Chain A
Amino acid sequence: MGKSRRDFIKISALGAVGVLVGSRLLTAQNNTVIPESLKGPWLMPEDLHRTPTYCEVCFWKCAGWTYKNKDGQIQKIIGNDDDPNSNGRFCPRGTGGVGMYYDEDRLKTPLIRVEAADGTQTYKEVSWEEAFDYIQEKLEKVIKKHGPESLALFTHGSGGTYFGNLLKALGSQNITAPSYAQCRGPREVGFIATFGEGLSSPEPTDIRDCKCMVLIGSHIGENMHNGHVQEMSDAIDKGATIITVDPRFSTAASKSKHWLPIKPSTDIALLMAWIHVLIYEERYDKKYVEQYTFGFEQLKAHVKHMTPEWAYGITTIKPQVIRETAREMSYASPATIIHPGRHVTWYGDDTQRLRAVAILNALLGSWGRRGGFYIPDKAKVPGVPHPPYPEPKKTWRDAMNGKYELADLALANGVCDATIPSATNDANVKAWIVNGTNLIETLPNRPKTLEAINALDLMVVVDTMPMEITGYADVVLPECTYLERYDSLRLTQHREPTISLRMPAMKPKYDSKPAWWMAKNLAERLGKGEYFPFDSIEEELDFQLKKVGSSLEEMQSIGVKKMEREYDDLYYRDGEEIEFNTNTGKIELYSTSLEEYGFDPMPKYTAHPEPPEGYYRLIYGRAPMHTFSRTANNPNLTDLMDENTVWVNPKVAKEWDLQNGQEIYLQNQDNVVSTFPIKVRITERIRWDSVYMVHGFGHSKKQLSRAFGRGASDTELITNVMMDPIMGGTGMRGNFITFRFNKA
């Protein structure tokens, strides 16, 4: 138990730099990424005027080239033509990635939390040696007292590979990313229950060849999933029909043949009514359904009463529109995509809603068909050889009391729960490493996150920027940006398997270092050096590449290498015999696995609470030039958009006498008031029962000079979390706000 509560350190009143001579650090690691003594048949960053990389601004990992100007400074970043994720074109965030390198607010030195004489807490600038000494001492203590299973890693960046290796080597499996239970988890479990496999990333949606795409909870075009935005544009060129279901007139809605301005939280009713129309008008793919699916008769009986008229009363979408749009989907079938969306944690019944999406796709025969969902493949490269990982005696699941067994990845909120001491918490997590994820803005129900943090014996945050999460750390380690380091090979799935190399364009700025170097140093100190057998990451990458007929030298000059598909076909052959990875071996319209666990085998509509009088549902989303709270300080990207606004319907604005651009505070149903005011945007594009804001603003850390106080944080207003009982996803759209003209 720490001596005092972990205060949020707001002001960077940094003390003297700790000076320590000594070298338990790896050879010659002062400000260079690679040891001086390295010899190898590959080039150094300074020898190349353009270096290959893959982007780290979001998680699409587009491959590209970093160009330097005649002064050897980074000039621009453009796409690699051979990359299926980007097709040679980067999105605005990737193009603006230069700003990550040049951002003068970056973390510059390691920091350790210290307590001053007057009891206030602040950070002291220290050397890497001192930081590692501190971490080693604390980790050894925690492991001795509570076992290695008390360690956890939160990661949403490439560094996770190395810290993950370290944690597993120590004997912990508590490795989690917020991209699961805070984002796409329900759709993975919903699709696994139906098709026997999840979607992963990028989703294998065959958008460029689709004839009809249904976006229900997706705002592609504001959500800048690069390759998918490109393919949607191709589809528009080919005359594809786009149907968008959204309470807001999104950019995608403006390019749609049909926009269904649905009442928020009623989506399952619409999906089930569509299923009803396809079945009762016999517009489903009969051959496909007969050959590949299980449970059709049960489904037919289940949706009998779920008519368009029934759905109209719930969703406010007219019955004729529901029928017309179902017919459009059927005419285009199998080249119809009911898009699974990405961030699907809304109301707690999200796995069931994604089951309805999966079922609809199955009825249309789009899974495994051209213009629907293709069969992705990924390149296989041998891993780094190391001894087997020790088997942990317990994991975060031991704090879940048997809940969420269907979750196929670790829940970030689950690890949080496993950290808060309680009678039912058997997992007893005591130390966190947090890499590349700003948990304060990521996890809903902030008070709970803070409760967990305060219960920790050690918190190490590894980041490039002084994000809010760094204010709670015991140790802050400055990571260099992706433009200054090597990382593991990118092997993401696509139509064609590819390998992509990230190499540094520049040496790390300030005293920042790459994650692999930090993890290796810690591993050596903790007696796990054999899990990092190579002296340098160049050697490690070259070793792996040589196993697949390439080399580091080759990859430095091409950036992306295409590999052979393991399976010949992108799509199922007509009438092909297929066994799906489900209990019945078929696509389960009726889910036997959900039934096994005591959940509804077919989705049902449940009404969700509506905003009380004078309150509006808080809806949030993305802007194409930003990635969550990660980019809000990037000089190039804040130049494009430097704050969010709250979208208010003109009828509502009139009621409250609001003016365009007026600054107001937002207060939610639990009386939480936004820390900062936000400007009003009066627009017809939002329903009168909701307000909309882009996520990722309202930063409260002063060191983020461009982001501090700009706009408001939606996360701090998301205190009502609707838990998905199936996989533990945190539904965030059950919060309602009202307007306040002053803070007090």
Chain B
Amino acid sequence: MRYAMAVDTKKCVGCSDCVVACQTENDVPIGYCRDWIVEVTDGTYPQLELEHRSERCNHCENSPCVRCCPTGASHYSDGGIVLVTKNKCIGCGACIASCPYDARFTHPKGYVDKCTFCIHRVKKGQEPACVAVCPTKCMYFGDLDDPNSDVSKVIKKRKYKTLIPEAGTQPQLYFLI
């Protein structure tokens, strides 16, 4: 089982629904976020291009954040989802420094927090909150080991990119382009 997510940049409008839905689903305090929107403009008026994408932790297969954690709080869980065990985390911040995607943050309560692929929902057969709310339905989630899952089908059909592939982290967040 290998969980992954795909975001279709052709449909994402950068509305930030994924951000606020994640906050209300996961009690993320105001001022912090587990996912965010990136907007990139290219060109000169009127030859222009615009890309919107919803970013979060990439749940990398070769994650530096798991490797550098001194307590083992940062670990791989079901389907390769990267999680932080709150009460093992000492808030040292090594993982934050090691992540090339700036995906982690220190929760006001002292432990390090980030996207969990809504594992509590996934275990119940539901999609992560961001995927379930997205009004343009531009997000796909599922098991890459299952050729019939939404995410497997869509990355077979479409061109995609991952972020900072040269860092060698093997990110599991695919951006359809």
Contacts and interface: CB of A to CB of B under 8 A. Distances in A.
Interface stretch (A30-38, A84-92, A668-676): A84-92
Contact of A236 (B10, B43, B134): B10
A699 to B, nearest CB: 19
Interface stretch (B18-26, B102-110, B140-148, B165-173): B18-26
A96 B16 CA distance: 10
Given A75-B24, A96-B20, A637-B20, A89 B132 contact: yes
A293 interface: no
Contact of A233 (B21, B23, B46, B137): B137
Which residue among B19, B43, B49 has the maximum number of chain A CB atoms within 10 Å of its CB? B19
A239 to B, nearest CB: 11
Interface string B31-64: 1010000000101111011111000000000000
A229 interface: yes
A488 interface: no
A625 B25 contact: no
Interface residues of B, number: 33
B48 A684 contact: yes
B48 A249 contact: yes
Interface in B86-130: none
B16 A230 contact: no
Interface stretch (A18-26, A189-197, A219-227, A267-275): A219-227
A637 B21 CA distance: 11
Interface string A625-667: 1000000000111011100000001000000000000000000
Contacts of A78: 21, 132-133
A77 B24 CA distance: 8
B164 interface: no
A253 B17 CA distance: 21
Given A251-B52, A639-B31, A624 B16 contact: yes
A632 to B, nearest CB: 15
B20 A92 contact: yes
B15 interface: yes
Given A76-B25, A229-B136, A251-B50, A683 B19 contact: no
Nearest to A636: B20
A91 B50 contact: no
A142 interface: no
Given A251-B52, A635-B30, A684-B48, A90 B13 contact: no
B15 A91 contact: yes
Nearest to B21: A95
B61 to A, nearest CB: 29
A115 B134 CA distance: 51
Given A90-B17, A640-B19, A685 B135 contact: no
Nearest to B43: A684
Contacts of A639: 20, 23, 30-31, 33
A92 B137 contact: no
A596 interface: no
A234 B8 CA distance: 12
A3 to B, nearest CB: 44
A236 B45 contact: no
B14 to A, nearest CB: 7
Nearest to B24: A76
A236 B14 CA distance: 16
Contact of A625 (B16, B48, B133): B16
Given A249-B45, A687-B45, A255 B24 contact: no
Contact of B46 (A89, A92, A261): A261
A625 B49 contact: no
Given A78-B133, A92-B17, A636-B30, A233 B11 contact: yes
**Which of B15, B19, B52, B132 is most buried by chain A, counting CB atoms within 10 A of its CB?**
B15
Nearest to B22: A95
B41 A684 contact: yes
A686 B44 CA distance: 10
A170 B116 CA distance: 58
B138 interface: yes
A215 interface: no
A103 to B, nearest CB: 11
Given A230-B137, A254-B50, A95 B17 contact: yes
Nearest to A229: B135
Contact of B135 (A75, A230, A259, A683): A230
A580 B51 CA distance: 44
B15 A685 contact: no
Nearest to A94: B17
A636 B43 CA distance: 33
A635 B25 CA distance: 16
A383 to B, nearest CB: 33
Nearest to B16: A640
Nearest to B25: A76
A577 interface: no
B50 A636 contact: no
B89 to A, nearest CB: 23
Contacts of A636: 20, 23-24, 30
Contacts of A96: 20, 24
A98 interface: yes
A260 to B, nearest CB: 9
A297 interface: no
Contacts of B136: 229-230, 232-233
Interface string A678-701: 000001111110000000000000
A367 to B, nearest CB: 27
Given A91-B17, A254-B48, A641-B16, 5 more contacts: A230-B136, A251-B50, A253-B50, A649-B45, A684-B41
The 5 closest A-B pairs by CB, nearest first: A254-B50, A624-B15, A76-B24, A233-B136, A221-B13
Interface of B: 10-11, 13-17, 19-21, 23-25, 30-31, 33, 41, 43-46, 48-52, 132-138
Interface of A: 75-79, 89-92, 95-96, 98, 221-222, 224, 226, 229-230, 232-234, 236-237, 249, 251, 253-255, 259, 261, 624-625, 635-637, 639-641, 649, 683-688
27 contacts: A78-B132, A78-B133, A89-B132, A90-B17, A92-B17, A95-B17, A221-B13, A221-B15, A224-B15, A229-B135, A230-B135, A233-B135, A234-B137, A236-B11, A249-B46, A251-B13, A251-B14, A253-B48, A254-B48, A625-B15, A625-B16, A636-B23, A639-B30, A640-B20, A641-B16, A684-B41, A688-B45
